[in-house]
Structure 1
Amino acid sequence: MLVSQFDKNSYKLLQLNNGLDVLLVHEPNSKRTTAAMTIAAGHFSDPVECQGLAHLLEHMLFLGSRNFNEPNNLNQFVSQHGGNINAWTGTEHTSFHFDVMSNELRESLARFSDMLFYPLFQEALIDKEIHSIDAEFKLKQKDDLRRLYQVHKETSNPQHPFSKFSVGNSEVFRQFPITELKQKLINFHQKNFVTNNMKLCVISGLSLENLKSEVEIAFNDVKTSAPLPELELPNLYTESQVGIKINIQPIKQTKRLIVSFALPNTDKYYRSKPSSVLSHLLGDEGKHSLLAYLKSKNWATSLGAGGGIQGSNFKDFNINMQLTELGVKHQNDIIEAIFSTIALISKEIPTQLWRLEEKAKLSQLAFDYSDSGKATDLATQWSSNLFESPKEHVVARDYLLDRLDIKPIQYCLSFMTPENMRVKRIYEGLETDKIANWYNTPYKTIPLSTEELAQFSRPKDIPEIQLPEPNIYIPSSTKLIPPTSDFANPVRISRGDGMDVWFAQDNKFNQPKGDCYLAFDCKATDLGIYTAAQKRMWISCLMEHFNDDFYHAGIAGLNFRIYPHQAGFSIHTNGFSQHQLTLFKNLLERIQTDSETALDTYFDKVKIRQIQSLQNALLNKPINRLFSHLSELLQRYNFGSKQMLEAVKDTSRGAMSNFPSILFSEMYLETLLHGNWSYEEAETFTQDLRERNPSANIGLKLNRDVVDLRAQSRLVYQVSSEEEESAVVIYFQAPGFTESSVAMSILLEQIIAAPFFNYMRTEKQLGYLVGTGYMPFNQHPGITLYIQSPNAGASSLVDEIEQFLQNHLADIHSFAPYWQRLKDNVIKQLSEKDANLSMKSQRLWMALGNDDLNFDKNDRIIKAIESLELSELARFASSMLNREMFGELVIYSQGQGLPNSEVKGTRIENIDAFKLSSHFII
Structure 2
Amino acid sequence: MRLVVRAALRSSTLLPSSFSSHQRGLATMNSATLWRSAHQHEIFTQPLQRSPNDDRDYRLIRLNNGLHALLIHDAKADKAAASLAVSVGHLSDPDDMPGLAHFCEHLLFMGTEQFPRENEYGDYISSHGGRTNAYTAASDTNYYFSVGADHLPGALQLFSGFFHSPLFSSSCTSRELHAVDSEHKKNLQSDSWRLFQMSKSLSKPGHVWSKFGSGNMLSLTAAAKAASALERRSASTTDGLAPSNSVTPLTSRMPSPVPSFASETDADGGSVGRETRRRLVEWWETHYCPTRMNLVVLGKECFDDLAALVVENFSPIVNRGLAPVKPIPELPWGPDQVGTIIHAKTIMDFQAVELQFQLPAQTYHWRSKPAHFLAHLLGHEGPGSLHSYLKQKGFLVRLSCGNQPQARGIDFFKLTCFLTPTGFKQYREVVLIMCKYLNMLRETQSFPAYLFDELQTLALTRFNYSEKRASDSYASSLSETMANPYPPDLLLSAGSLLWDWDEAHVHRTLAEFVPEKGRVIVMGKDYTGFGFDETKWDAEKWYKTQYYIQQLDEQFLEASRRPNDIPELFLPPRNEFIPQDLSVAKREVATPALRPEMIRKTALSTLWHKKDDQFWVPKANVILFMRSPLAGITPRHLVLTRLFCELVTDSLTEYAYAAELASLRYNVAADTYGLQIMLSGYNDKLSILLATVLHKLKTINIDKQRFRDIKEDVRQEYVNFDMSQPVEIADYYLRYTLAHVMWTPKERLAELTDITPEDLERHARDLLSRTYLDVLVHGNISHEQAISIMETTETSLAAKPLSESELASNRSYILPPGANFVHRQRVPNIENGNSGLSYYLHVGELTDEHHRAQLSLLAHLIHEPCFDVLRTKEQLGYIAQSIMLTRTGIMGLRLHVQSERSPVYLEQRVDAFLQGFQAYLEGMSEADFDKQKKGLITKKLEKTKSLSEEGNRIWGAISSGYQDFTRREIDAENVRKLTRADMLKFYAEYFMPTSPKRRKLSVHLKGHPKVDALFSVAASNRFLSVLKLHGVPVNEDDYVASSAAQPPVTAVTAFWEQIFSGIETLSSTTAEEILKQIASLAQEHPVLPVEDAEPMPTGAQDIVNLAELKAGMLVSAAATPTPY
> What is the 5 A alignment of 1:28-39?
28-39=75-86
SS at match of 2:795: helix
1:133-167 deviation digits (Å, cap 9, x = unpaired): 11111111111111111211221112221111112
Cα distance, 1:705–1:599 mapped onto 2, change above 3 Å: farther
Matched, 1:895 2:1001: no
742, 757, 765: which is aligned to 2:867?
Answer: 757
Question: How many angstroms does 1:235 deviate by?
Answer: 2.8
Matched, 1:537 2:633: no
Number of the residue aligned with 2:786? 682
Cα distance, 1:690–1:821 mapped onto 2, change above 3 Å: same
21, 43, 53: which is aligned to 2:68?
Answer: 21
Whole-Å separation in 2 of the counterparts to 1:170 and 1:487: 53
Number of the residue aligned with 2:354? 258
Number of the residue aligned with 2:338? 242
Number of the residue aligned with 2:661? 555
Whole-Å separation in 1 of the counterparts to 2:707 and 2:343: 30
Number of the residue aligned with 2:87? 40
| TM-score of the aligned structures, taking structure 2 as reference length | 0.80
Matched, 1:692 2:801: no
| TM-score of the aligned structures, taking structure 1 as reference length | 0.97
1:62-81 deviation digits (Å, cap 9, x = unpaired): 11211111223211221111
1098, 1111, 1114: which is aligned to 1:916?
Answer: 1111
Number of the residue aligned with 1:224? 319
Query: In the alignment, is the contact (CA less than 8 A) between 2:592 and 2:614 conserved in 1?
Result: no
1:456-500 deviation digits (Å, cap 9, x = unpaired): 112442100111111000101101123486994421121121310
SS at match of 1:241: coil
784, 805, 808: which is aligned to 2:917?
Answer: 808
Matched, 1:826 2:936: yes
Question: How many angstroms does 1:268 deviate by?
Answer: 1.3
Number of the residue aligned with 1:196? 291
Matched, 1:501 2:616: no
378, 401, 411: which is aligned to 1:305?
Answer: 401
838, 860, 866: which is aligned to 1:729?
Answer: 838
Number of the residue aligned with 2:518? 421
SS at match of 2:886: coil
Number of the residue aligned with 2:509? 412
451, 464, 488: which is aligned to 1:368?
Answer: 464
Query: In the alignment, is the contact (CA less than 8 A) between 2:633 and 2:672 conserved in 1?
Result: no
Question: How many angstroms does 1:210 deviate by?
Answer: 2.6
> What is the 5 A alignment of 1:846-857?
846-853=956-963, 855-857=965-967
Query: In the alignment, is the contact (CA less than 8 A) between 1:481 and 1:676 conserved in 2?
Result: yes
Query: In the alignment, is the contact (CA less than 8 A) between 1:40 and 1:92 conserved in 2?
Result: yes
Query: In the alignment, is the contact (CA less than 8 A) between 2:89 and 2:139 conserved in 1?
Result: yes
Q: Which moved more, 1:777-786 or 1:3-12?
A: 777-786
Number of the residue aligned with 2:236? none
Cα distance, 1:885–1:860 mapped onto 2, change above 3 Å: farther
Number of the residue aligned with 1:642? 746
SS at match of 2:358: strand
Question: How many angstroms does 1:781 deviate by?
Answer: 2.4
Corresponding letter in the other structure for 2:516? E
Cα distance, 1:377–1:854 mapped onto 2, change above 3 Å: closer
Cα distance, 1:830–1:320 mapped onto 2, change above 3 Å: same
Number of the residue aligned with 2:380? 284
Number of the residue aligned with 2:551? 447
SS at match of 1:363: helix
Q: Which moved more, 1:800-809 or 1:319-328?
A: 319-328
Number of the residue aligned with 2:684? 578
SS at match of 1:515: strand
> What is the 5 A alignment of 1:448-847?
448-483=552-587, 488=593, 489-525=595-631, 527-594=633-700, 597-598=701-702, 600=704, 602-700=706-804, 701-721=807-827, 722=830, 723-737=832-846, 738-778=848-888, 780-790=890-900, 792-810=901-919, 812-815=921-924, 816-847=926-957
Query: In the alignment, is the contact (CA less than 8 A) between 1:524 and 1:666 conserved in 2?
Result: no
Number of the residue aligned with 2:488? 391
1:579-613 deviation digits (Å, cap 9, x = unpaired): 1022112212221121xx14645221111001111
Number of the residue aligned with 2:975? 865
State the identity as a percent: 24
Corresponding letter in the other structure for 1:394? L
Matched, 1:147 2:244: no
**Structure 1: gaps of 5 or more residues:** none
Whole-Å separation in 2 of the counterparts to 1:222 and 1:811: 36
355, 362, 374: which is aligned to 2:451?
Answer: 355
Corresponding letter in the other structure for 1:778? T
Whole-Å separation in 1 of the counterparts to 2:426 and 2:294: 49
Query: In the alignment, is the contact (CA less than 8 A) between 1:710 and 1:735 conserved in 2?
Result: no
**Structure 2: gaps of 5 or more residues:** 1-47, 225-271, 1012-1092, 1118-1124
Matched, 1:88 2:135: yes
Corresponding letter in the other structure for 2:312? I
Question: How many angstroms does 1:265 deviate by?
Answer: 2.0
1:318-349 deviation digits (Å, cap 9, x = unpaired): 11011122212322322222122122223336
Cα distance, 1:418–1:474 mapped onto 2, change above 3 Å: same
Q: Which moved more, 1:896-905 or 1:220-229?
A: 896-905
Query: In the alignment, is the contact (CA less than 8 A) between 1:735 and 1:885 conserved in 2?
Result: no
Cα distance, 1:207–1:650 mapped onto 2, change above 3 Å: farther
Whole-Å separation in 2 of the counterparts to 1:612 and 1:555: 28
Whole-Å separation in 2 of the counterparts to 1:602 and 1:67: 63
Question: How many angstroms does 1:229 deviate by?
Answer: 5.5
Query: In the alignment, is the contact (CA less than 8 A) between 1:19 and 1:225 conserved in 2?
Result: no
Corresponding letter in the other structure for 2:313? A
SS at match of 2:723: coil
Task: Tell me how many residue pairs correspond in the alignment.
Answer: 919
Whole-Å separation in 2 of the counterparts to 1:652 and 1:593: 18
Whole-Å separation in 2 of the counterparts to 1:861 and 1:758: 27
SS at match of 1:350: coil
1:387-421 deviation digits (Å, cap 9, x = unpaired): 21221121112211111221221221121122102
Question: How many angstroms does 1:207 deviate by?
Answer: 2.9
Q: Which moved more, 1:339-348 or 1:500-509?
A: 339-348
SS at match of 2:156: helix
Question: How many angstroms does 1:375 deviate by?
Answer: 2.2
Cα distance, 1:702–1:712 mapped onto 2, change above 3 Å: farther
Whole-Å separation in 1 of the counterparts to 2:378 and 2:118: 49
SS at match of 1:403: coil
SS at match of 1:618: helix
Corresponding letter in the other structure for 1:205? K
Question: How many angstroms does 1:655 deviate by?
Answer: 2.5
Corresponding letter in the other structure for 2:953? R
Consecutive aligned runs of 4 or more in structure 1 exceeding 6 Å deviation = 484-487
Query: In the alignment, is the contact (CA less than 8 A) between 2:845 and 2:889 conserved in 1?
Result: no
Whole-Å separation in 1 of the counterparts to 2:894 and 2:931: 23
Corresponding letter in the other structure for 1:786? H
> What is the 5 A alignment of 1:18-167?
18-167=65-214
Corresponding letter in the other structure for 1:684? S
Whole-Å separation in 1 of the counterparts to 2:577 and 2:673: 32
SS at match of 1:129: helix
Corresponding letter in the other structure for 2:909? E
Question: How many angstroms does 1:544 deviate by?
Answer: 0.9
SS at match of 2:382: coil
Number of the residue aligned with 2:280? 185
Corresponding letter in the other structure for 1:82? G
1:726-746 deviation digits (Å, cap 9, x = unpaired): 211111121232222111111
